[in-house]
């Protein structure tokens, strides 16, 4: 494994964990976190590897990874299925930092984590809506008009999925 790849993966996981914290706390993923990460992924991959092809490590791989992630999550945002612009910008930065090949695993594992967490929230939905306070209610219940809705800040599944995919990449965890 090349030193540049290790550094990019450390930045990738760090950015995703920071985004998960801000998304859980304030239901926002800040541009000051995602946009520099996107730029860093493109610049570092170009500086370190040049234009190398789709499955290699260079700028083309970063652009394809970012584009793939943007399209997949962007469609959910356009269709209004719970993705916000911050989630889309975060996963686009993931694609640029990870490169095309690793971004495929990141998207797949993030989707699996989102599905599992979504099912868990469905199971405990009545308890969340019935409670009057607490950390779980503050994190997963959002008031929309006169109605409380259980929501899943998607920065968390993205961070868990990226962490899972990165552990798989280094052989520290079983694959999907």
Residue 175 lies in a domain: no
Summary mean pLDDT of the chain: 89
| pLDDT, average across residues 50-55 | 77
pLDDT of residue 143: 73
In a domain, 87, yes or no: yes
Domain range for residue 87? 3-169
Ranges 7-11, 145-149, 153-157: which has the least confidence: 145-149
pLDDT at 71 over 70: yes
Does some domain include residue 98?
yes
For residue 174, being part of any structural domain is answered with no
Q: pLDDT band at 129, cuts 50/70/90?
A: low
pLDDT tens-digit map of 73-126: 999 888 876 788 999 999 999 999 999 999 999 999 999 999 999 888 877 777
Question: Quick check: is 73 in a domain?
Answer: yes
d(CA 12, CA 107): 13
Quote the pLDDT of residue 122. Answer: 78
Q: Is residue 176 in a domain?
A: no
Total domains in the chain come to: 1
Integer CA distances (angstroms), 21 to 48, 60, 72, 94, in order: 30, 31, 23, 16
Nearest to 84 by CA among 39, 18, 19, 32: 19
Predicted model pTM = 0.89
**CA 63, 50, 98 angle in degrees (round to 5)?**
40
**What backbone phi and psi angles, to 5 degrees, belong to 6?**
-65, -45
Residue 10 lies in a domain: yes
């Amino acid at each position: 494994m090349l030193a540049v790849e290790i550094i990019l993966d450390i930045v990738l996981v760090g950015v995703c964990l920071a985004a998960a914290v801000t998304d859980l706390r304030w239901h926002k993923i800040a541009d000051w976190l995602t946009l520099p990460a996107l730029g860093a992924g493109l610049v570092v991959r170009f500086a370190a590897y040049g234009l190398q092809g789709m499955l290699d490590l260079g700028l083309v791989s970063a652009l394809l990874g970012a584009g793939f992630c943007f399209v997949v999550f962007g469609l959910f945002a356009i269709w209004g299925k719970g993705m916000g612009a911050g989630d889309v910008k975060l996963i686009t930065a993931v694609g640029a930092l990870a490169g095309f090949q690793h971004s495929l695993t990141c998207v797949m594992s993030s989707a699996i984590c989102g599905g599992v967490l979504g099912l868990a929230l469905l199971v405990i939905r009545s308890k969340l809506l019935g409670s009057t306070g607490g950390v779980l209610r503050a994190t997963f219940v959002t008031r929309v008009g006169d109605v409380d809705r259980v929501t899943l800040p998607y920065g968390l599944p993205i961070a868990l999925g990226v962490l899972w995919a990165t552990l798989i990449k280094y052989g520290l965890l079983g694959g999907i």
